[in-house]
Amino acid sequence: MKSKRRWQALCFALLATAPSVALADEGEQCFLHRELPVERQLRRLSIDLRGTVPDVAEYDAVAKLSELPDALLDEYLASDAFRVQIRRYHESLLWTNPAPALADVGFSLSTVNLDGSPVYYVPGQGKSALFRGGDGTHTCQNKPQDALGYDPVTGMPIVEPMGNDAAGAWSAEGWVEVHPFWEADPAKKVKVCAFDAQTTATYTLPPGDPDAGTHSCDHLLATNKAKSCGCGPELSYCMPAGVVQPLVHAALREQLLRLVDEHTDGTQPYSGLLTTKRVHYNGPLAFYFKYHAQRQTLSRTQNEHQASDGPLPDLAFTDVDTWVAVEREAPHAGLLTLPAFLLRFQTNRGRANRYRIAFLGQYFQPPSTKDTNCAKESDDLTRRCVCRNCHLTLEPIAAYFGQFTEAGSMSLRDFAREYPTRKACAKGIAPQNAGWCDRHYVAIPDETDPDLRPYTLKALQYADDEHPEIGPHFEAGPADLVKADIESGRFHEVAIEHLFSYLMKREPNLDPTTGDYEGDALAKIAADFRVHDDIRQAVRDLVKLPAYRRMP
């Protein structure tokens, strides 16, 4: 009996002291760690949320306090400096620096110095030979075109014979003065070779030509076909790369960051970053997609504006600081289908891999064991030895991005999925072009009749019975991929883990067998984040964790 009473007393005592034990388990009161002085807490918070240190007045304002006031945290979270910090955080996740070559000799503008005066011309040899004959290395002569005149029938510049080169006789036109699209001042003009300055919008190929009919001068395939096609009104069809490219690159980056701003300022849900159809354009971007993107040679990035990209706003190239929001259509999905993402990660596999890293916290690792019972030489990477360990997972995810061209940002939604023959494929665009077919399609030999070679979109090369996920994933687009990860909660959980690492300067301890396991605390913050979907609130929850205030 006496022993029983002792056990009763022990149990009572344990219950009575349970709260303090619980606090000890949470690390709330246990010794050895030291709280940062309030000024250093302020410094840490300011560096993390504002990207700089406080001034003396701000230190003095918290001098007598035991902890930082919530109002201060609110002020930091509402500041423009926090917006910039959140931009940097997302840039480190998404590597936001698209820098593809946007110009090509077929439509770029160079200058030739004629008696001390720069004169613009298009340096492509094919086009120059079409204009002036010879070997295609010649430009215009230093003479105003008005002195030579124009052909009354064709309207093209009249030329003068200049001599012979290795390829034969060549002639040259004069120059004209044009106000170029990149100059805001309408009075400012530049000299341009008269052939290159032609403003014709279309050209017509005669009956009998394989591509008979009327076509646009503002297209890649017009480059070497039409002598009557120049750079269009205000040289809009051509690009001085040194002027246009830096502005477009900067705008592509800003376009993504504006989306980040909208979904991290508390007005739009954070998960909308991956689901929204909204996109922003400024003058250089709208101009590039209206006039230049479709002129890029097939061997470089293909960024031609498509119907699913939404209407382009009517902005002048010089409207650098004017941004207009427009709505895109399916299959667009937030920042994952912005050019800044698609051009930074140019393959569907690369896009899928970055998505897994940035938003699912998942990394591929090579296997540590020998791969057996697999195909050693298969082109199908989901079967090939060693490769298949990752590609079995990667290929179905990559298929979600299949409706966007690789090495480019162009939507393929409205492209035919398949052509029965190579010839039909080449006629998929006018004027017909086999190179265009090879750029986007791949031949799939028929298993029973090798002579039958239908051409299918490259992303659908393995969409067959052995790979049943690829076709549906292709048609669903990235929006479906994102939807599943947001609904499962994984998106918010990983965002919290990334933010934790960013703010705490270390990985969270997610090993439940250790005493300072942090998984429960993070799970609670992630569960709340999933409900409020506000990254500012999530940051607030994280910096209020006791660990954030402690010295390491």
Binding footprint of another protein on the chain (CB under 8 A): 5-6, 8-10, 12-14, 16-17, 20-21, 23-24, 26-33, 37, 39-40, 42-44, 47-48, 51-56, 59, 63, 88, 91-92, 95-97, 99, 344, 503-506, 509, 515-516, 518, 546-548, 550-552
Burial of 283 (0-12, 13-18, 19+ CB in 10 A): buried
Least distance to another protein from the beta carbon of 275, Å?
Answer: 24
Taking the complex as a whole, how short is the minimal distance between the CB of residue 15 and another protein, in angstroms?
10
Question: Which lies closer to another protein via its Cβ, residue 18 or residue 527?
Answer: 18
In the bound state with another protein, the residue whose beta carbon lies nearer, of 62 and 273, is 62
Residue 516 and residue 4: Cα distance in Å, rounded?
Answer: 35
Residue with smaller CB distance to another protein, 23 or 78: 23
Give least dist CB 406 to another protein, A: 18
Closer residue to another protein in complex, CB, 48/196: 48
For residue 505, the minimal CB distance to another protein (Å) is 4
Nearer to another protein, 69 or 420 (CB): 69
| H-type alpha helices, 168-299 | 241-264, 283-287
How far apart are CB 39 and another protein at their closest, in Å?
Answer: 5
Report the distance separating Cα 478 and Cα 397, nearest Å: 9
Q: How close are the terminal C-alpha atoms of the chain, in Å?
A: 51
Q: Rounded to an integer, what distance in angstroms lies between the CA atom of residue 219 and that of residue 215?
A: 9
The CA distance from 223 to 157, in Å, is 18
Q: Please, what is the minimum distance in Å from the beta carbon of residue 43 to another protein?
A: 4
CA atoms within 13 A on the CB side of 432: 11
> Is the Cβ of residue 38 or residue 386 nearer to another protein in the bound state?
38
Residue type at 160 in one-letter notation: E
Smaller CB distance to another protein: residue 31 or 363?
31
CA dihedral (225, 230, 232, 238) positive or negative: positive
Closest CA to 171 of 200, 189, 191, 195: 195
Q: Which residue has the tokens 């001599």?
A: 163
| Least distance from another protein to the Cβ atom of residue 37, Å | 7
Q: Is 460 helix (H, G, I), strand (E, B) or coil?
A: helix
Q: Torsion-angle region of residue 283: left (phi > 0), alpha (psi -120 to 50) or beta?
A: alpha
Nearer to another protein, 343 or 470 (CB): 343
**Parallel, antiparallel, or unpaired: how do β-strands 418-419 and 455-457 relate?**
antiparallel
Q: What's the min distance (Å) between Cβ of 242 and another protein?
A: 17
Strand partners, 317: none
> Which of 348, 435, 430 is CA-nearest to residue 391?
348
* CB within 8 Å of 527: residues ≥ 6 apart: 489
Nearest CA to 492 out of 531, 519, 520 is that of: 531
Strands 418-419 and 441-443: unpaired
The residue among 97 and 378 lying less far from another protein, judged by its C-beta, is: 97
3-state helix, strand, coil in the chain (%, to 5): 45, 10, 45
Give me the half-sphere count of Cα atoms (radius 13 Å) on the Cβ side of residue 170: 21
Distance in Å, CB of 550 to another protein, minimum: 3
CB of 205 to another protein, least distance (A): 42
Q: Which is nearer to another protein, 53 or 184 (CB)?
A: 53
Cα(193)–Cα(120) distance, rounded to whole angstroms?
A: 6
Q: How near is the Cβ of 481 to another protein at its closest, in Å?
A: 23
Which CB, 203 or 548, lies closer to another protein?
A: 548
